[in-house]
Amino acid sequence: MIVSRLTLRIARTQLLAKKKQTTIAALGVTFGIAMFIFMISVMTGVNALLEDTMLMNTPHIRLYNDVTAVRPSLLEETYGNDTIWPVVRHQRPKQTKRNIKGATMIVSDLRSDPAVIGVSAQVTSQVFYNYGPVQLNGVIAGVDILEEDKLFNLRTKMKYGRLEDLPANRDGLIMGIGLARKLNVNPGDRVTVSTPGGSLQSFKVVGIFKTAVGAVDDQKSYANAESVQKILEEDSRYFTEIQVKLRDVNAANAYGKAVFNQYGYKAEDWETANATILQSFVIRNVMTVIVAGTLLVVAGFGIYNIMNMTIYNKMRDIAILKATGFAGSDVRGIFMTQAIIIGLLGGSLGLIFGYIFSYLTSKAPFDGGDVLSIDTFPVNMDYRFYIMGILFGVVTTALAAYFPSRKASKIDPVNILRG
Amino acid sequence: MENVLEAINLNKSFTDPVEFQVLKNISFSVRKGEFLSLMGKSGSGKSTLLYLLSTMDTVYDGQVVINGQLLTGMTQDALSAFRNEHIGFVFQFHFLLPEFSCLENVMLPAMKLNKWSNREIEKKAMEKLELLGVADQAHKLASRLSGGQQQRVAIARALINDPALIMGDEPTGNLDSHNSQNVQEIFRELTTRYHQTIIAVTHDPEFAKGTDRIIELSDGEIVK
Ligand SMILES: Nc1ncnc2c1ncn2[C@@H]1O[C@H](COP(=O)(O)OP(=O)(O)OP(=O)(O)O)[C@@H](O)[C@H]1O
Ligand SMILES: [Mg+2]
């Protein structure tokens, strides 16, 4: 295909002479690209929000003592599997402690690894929260709150009080907003916490947080590690899980396996923990691409039609050009150039409209309720979508124009000029 | 004098709607600088012959040689390039590109030839328009011109690349006697001064009288 300045000039003159037709063709592309940009921005925005929310509240790796893991029975341990075939019915998990042995050593080990951003050891327990007549089931996590902050950015989630209030109050408690609401407690109130083991302890609510994940906000409180160890009647080395934040989120799976091999404790990475949600992201992304692709194909058919019609109307002109010395490739060049100009014009306009729609949507108020902590609709304004959009636009128009152009290049001038 | 064009045993048939032979064993040659007119009744095959000679129609038996080069059997694109440089053609129904100005219409073949700068081309084009008395229409859209004006622009376009051969299918068909006279003088000048060759189909006996030679066609055969 030859696109010289001459073909460009001819293409431009013909486009300008048929402004209305050109505009309609370009608007088809505009619509396709604008919708593509808008849809993909919103869809990926929603996905990113969900993923962020998930990542914000899921440690990259969670190391814990999996007491339900299958263990060899005493018979097997004694005699081995080769000599006899032991059958033990109704074997129950052994009464073991849920703690990670040598937790402090593991923590300092992990902390010295440059791939790790933060490590938080915690002691968690199922508890009842009692306030007046209200008794609610929940979870208490004894942590070093400042370490926990490195993992989950808790500071930004505090609705009331400061993180520093927790270490300052030995019996302090930072409570999830849903839990606080249900218990009807306010900051400064004291609640009683009872453990499955039967011990009771009174805590003072010094702060309230909101992670925007209902299951967490309705159940969880943070306390100082020592206080929780104390109500569980354990010593200060008793930790039930270690949470790790990595520099590279995507390395979690591999890193988890390495950690498991080294320490022998179950290390669950966030991807495994959220496999179903991640699966739904994939489906949503596929849907987005399908819908946007369909829009572009429809725009492409519009262009195909219009190019076909243009070429049909321009048969005589094509014949004249050929009669006066233009080659088939020149003619093809002229029509391809027209299509690409339409694609670029329509596409650019599409980018602008797509941006405007996306921008307006990103400013539109949207109540995420208790599930999501957002005030406006999540929109992902990624510049790469715009590059993709314009490329898509030009490629579809070029493809749509290719066959009509080829047809035009093969027109035999004499058949038309015979008159 | 050397021959600029040779038609050797040309035969042409249309098969649609019925088998019909339009041209029968046409053979003749044209010398360089000759001003030739082609006459004959309507439907005798003049336009058909001219399309063969101008290389636009490639479906025929026989051979066409121009400037010593056998054109029969060449590809469409090669023929386009050849026409661009060596043949100027004026159609029976003066076809111009309607979206372009008259000046641009005249300039386009020269721009395609790419032998001169755009400024030179524009100057040449203006000269040709001047010659044909339509310089004042140069910047109008071609579609806005009267039939006779369009025909003169088409003649200017045929001249732009200084082709060796100029073919016209009734090039003065839409012109008044004054303009017709003018075109005839231009053609005469081109043949004598620049040794360009003209083949023009005409129904006008006056016009034919002023040419060097008349070939008369009847039912696809040369009768004179
Ligand atoms: N595409 C075609 N298919 C079939 N027959 C055709 C075709 N074009 C022309 N003819 C026939 O060929 C014959 C010669 O046509 P041509 O156009 O060469 O005549 P002409 O001498 O130029 O006539 P005129 O003086 O009216 O222009 C006519 O009988 C015409 O009907
Ligand atoms: Mg004719």
pLDDT tens figures, A147-168: 888 888 888 888 888 989 899 9
The alpha carbon of B220 and the centre of ligand 1 are apart by a number of angstroms equal to 10
Span between the terminal Cα atoms of chain B, in Å:
21
Q: Contact at 8 Å (CB) between A29 and A340?
A: no
**B65–chain A Cβ distance below 8 A for any pair:** no
Span between the terminal Cα atoms of chain A, in Å:
29
**A330–chain B Cβ distance below 8 A for any pair:** yes
Ligand 1 atom 29 nearest Cα: B43
Percent of chain B with pLDDT over 70: 99
Read off the pLDDT of residues A269-314 as tens digits, 9 standing for 90 and up.
888 888 887 788 788 878 877 887 787 787 778 778 877 887 888 8
Rounded CA-CA distance A305/A310 in Å is 9
3-state secondary structure of B182: helix
Residues 6+ apart with CB under 8 A from A349: A26, A27, A29, A30, A33, A34
- Exposed, middle or buried by CB within 10 Å (0-12, 13-18, 19+), for B66? buried
| Residue A371 binned pLDDT confidence (cut-offs 50, 70, 90) | low
Domain ranges across chain A: 5-55+278-418, 61-73+96-272
Tally Cβ neighbours within 10 Å of residue B75. 11
Task: Note whether A6 contacts B84, CB cutoff 8 Å.
Answer: no
- ipTM of the complex model: 0.91
- Residue B63, beta-bridge partner list: B8
Residue B1 has pLDDT above 60, yes or no: no
- The first and second tokens of residue A284, run together, are 């949503």
| B-proximal residues of A, 288-327, CB under 8 Å | 316-317, 319-327
Task: Give, in order, the Cα–Cα distances in Å from A161 to each of A120, A171, A210, A390, A416.
Answer: 21, 15, 12, 49, 85
Domain ranges across chain B: 3-222
Contacts of B57 in chain A (CB under 8 A): 414
pTM (2 d.p.): 0.71
Task: Note whether A323 contacts B89, CB cutoff 8 Å.
Answer: yes
Residues 6+ apart with CB under 8 A from B58: B72, B76, B79
Residue A68 has pLDDT above 70, yes or no: no
CATH fold of B3-222: Rossmann fold (3.40.50)
Predicted confidence at residue A404, as pLDDT, reads: 85
Predicted confidence at residue B53, as pLDDT, reads: 92
Mutate to test the interface with B, among A324, A414, A418 (most CBs of B within 10 A): A324
Rounded CA-CA distance A1/B17 in Å is 37
DSSP element (H, E) containing B6: strand B3-14
| Residue A70 binned pLDDT confidence (cut-offs 50, 70, 90) | low
Rounded CA-CA distance B133/B152 in Å is 8
Measured from the CB, is residue B202 less than 6 Å from ligand 1? no
Task: Note whether A330 contacts B112, CB cutoff 8 Å.
Answer: yes
**A417–chain B Cβ distance below 8 A for any pair:** yes
Which amino acid belongs to residue A85?
Answer: W
Residue count of chain B, please give it: 224
Read off the pLDDT of residues B166-223 as tens digits, 9 standing for 90 and up.
999 988 888 888 888 888 999 998 899 889 999 999 998 988 998 999 999 999 898 8
Predicted confidence at residue A1, as pLDDT, reads: 44
- The first and second tokens of residue A347, run together, are 């596409």
Which amino acid belongs to residue B182?
Answer: N
Task: Note whether A316 contacts B96, CB cutoff 8 Å.
Answer: no
Peptide bond into B17 cis (omega under 30): yes
| Residue A368 binned pLDDT confidence (cut-offs 50, 70, 90) | low
3-state secondary structure of A128: strand
Cα dihedral B173, B176, B177, B182 sign:
negative
Best CA proximity match to B160, nearest among B107, B115, B117, B114: B107
Residue A146 has pLDDT above 70, yes or no: yes
Residue A334 has pLDDT above 70, yes or no: yes
Rounded CA-CA distance B15/B140 in Å is 42
| Residue B110 binned pLDDT confidence (cut-offs 50, 70, 90) | very high
- The first and second tokens of residue B128, run together, are 């040709």
Q: Contact at 8 Å (CB) between B51 and A418?
A: yes
Best CA proximity match to A293, nearest among A377, A405, A399: A399
**B135–chain A Cβ distance below 8 A for any pair:** no
